[in-house]
Amino acid sequence: MKKFLTTFFFILGIIMLIACIFDYSEKMDDFTERGAPFIGLIVDYYFNFVLFYGNMFSPLLIFITVIFFTSKMASQTEIVAILSSGVSFKRMLFPYLICSIILASMSLMLNHYLIPNANKVRIKFEEDYFKMAYKNYDNDIHKQIGDNDFVYFEKYNVQSDIGYKFTLEHYKGREMIFKISSDYAQWDTTKECWVIHNYVKRFIDGDEERLERGRSLDTILELHPSEFEERLEYTTQMMSTPELNRYIDREILSGSENVTYHLIEKHQRTSVPFATFIMVFIGVCMSSRKVRGGIGAHLALGLLIAVTYIFAIKVATVYATNAGLSPFYACWIPNILYGIMSFYIYRIAPK
């Protein structure tokens, strides 16, 4: 067990070192031009970079570790000696299971709580010293901001916090009570409220309607400019799972089109660590046989399985986002399929 964990963290360290070198070579000019501090680069950015990407690819790196470690034992006839001494194949799998539990538990804790906080620091550093200012290119933005209130912007400028062609509609049941239309609405940072410019209020009472016009109007809405600055690929990465659950509830209420994406992120935080058990099981059963070609043959087959697993995850994700497949099933179907494969490989493995 000690050898297995040592081998895994060694491979993880090598891969992450290479990843950091490539990442720095790509971003070096921006970091230098913007005066990124060296300590901040190491502590705030690359430490959290290693946490995020190391954990993301840990099931596949564990899989490669298992194949490398077990193939080496098989090529030196150590596994034959273990089985010949009366130790059952199930008993031989026990240390691997313990290692899987340790690594999967660490990954779960990181995914749900620690990495989101680490991502806040990493992404903030990246935006300060690498990324260009974010621009919102969405048009025809619709949001529900309460049980009975709906807002609309034709487009929104993040830099000036101005939303153009603003509309606010208030309903009672299915009937509209009033509607505000304006040329634009701007966030006032001093008052912390929205200022609606060149507006028309339309009050509806049965068959009667009343119009009211004005130059500007201060109003408080359950809507903050930060909601327009959210990048889809970063938003959920910076939230712990309890925060993510609350955020998804708000997105469902507002009628967001990105709910499926957020649900996939939520379910993958559990399904990906669980894949550790499947990858370890497949790796041990597949590489415990001594074959011509040794470690190389096992690694080649292992990489093929890893690539098909990643492909299965991508296909399931596409089906969830575009074809209406449940995000829960999209995240767990690859694990179910490869779990069945692992059981078959176990049945045919030499014991």
248 belongs to a structural domain:
no
54 belongs to a structural domain:
yes
165 belongs to a structural domain:
yes
| pLDDT above 70: percentage of residues in the chain | 93
247 belongs to a structural domain:
no
Poorest-confidence range of 38-42, 258-262, 293-297?
Answer: 293-297
Q: Are residues 124 and 147 in the same domain?
A: no
Collapsed DSSP state (helix, strand, coil) of residue 165: strand
Element (H, E) at 201: strand 193-205
Collapsed DSSP state (helix, strand, coil) of residue 93: helix
Q: Are residues 48 and 121 in the same domain?
A: yes
Q: Are residues 48 and 195 in the same domain?
A: no
234 belongs to a structural domain:
no
Q: Are residues 115 and 179 in the same domain?
A: no
Q: Are residues 39 and 155 in the same domain?
A: no
Q: Are residues 215 and 94 in the same domain?
A: no
Domain that residue 210 falls in: 139-229
Distance CA 318, CA 54 (A): 24
Q: Are residues 192 and 49 in the same domain?
A: no
Distance CA 199, CA 348 (A): 74
The average pLDDT across 196-218 equals: 87
With tokens 């995000």, the residue in question is 327
239 belongs to a structural domain:
no
Q: Are residues 107 and 145 in the same domain?
A: no
pLDDT confidence of residue 304? 84
Collapsed DSSP state (helix, strand, coil) of residue 156: strand
Q: In which band, very low, low, confident or very high, does the pLDDT at 141 lie, cut at 50, 70 and 90?
A: confident
Length of the chain: 351
Q: What is the CA radius of gyration of the chain?
A: 27
236 belongs to a structural domain:
no
Q: Are residues 308 and 344 in the same domain?
A: yes
The average pLDDT across 226-246 equals: 81
- Is-contact 314 322, C-beta < 8 A? no
- Is-contact 283 302, C-beta < 8 A? yes
32 belongs to a structural domain:
yes
Collapsed DSSP state (helix, strand, coil) of residue 151: strand
pLDDT confidence of residue 321? 83
Q: In which band, very low, low, confident or very high, does the pLDDT at 231 lie, cut at 50, 70 and 90?
A: low
SS (H, E, C) 118-180: HHHHHHHHHHHHCCCCCCCCCEEEEEECCCCEEEEEEEEECCCCEEEEEEEEEEECCEEEEEE
Query: Is the pLDDT score of 46 beyond 90?
Result: yes
Q: Are residues 121 and 270 in the same domain?
A: yes
Q: Are residues 173 and 26 in the same domain?
A: no
pLDDT confidence of residue 350? 63
Q: In which band, very low, low, confident or very high, does the pLDDT at 74 lie, cut at 50, 70 and 90?
A: confident
The average pLDDT across 219-235 equals: 76
pTM, full prediction: 0.73
Query: Is the pLDDT score of 145 beyond 70?
Result: yes
Query: Is the pLDDT score of 135 beyond 80?
Result: no
Structure tokens at 176: 């509209």
Q: Are residues 154 and 8 in the same domain?
A: no
Boundary-marking domain end, from 186, 211, 229: 229
Count of domains observed in the chain: 2
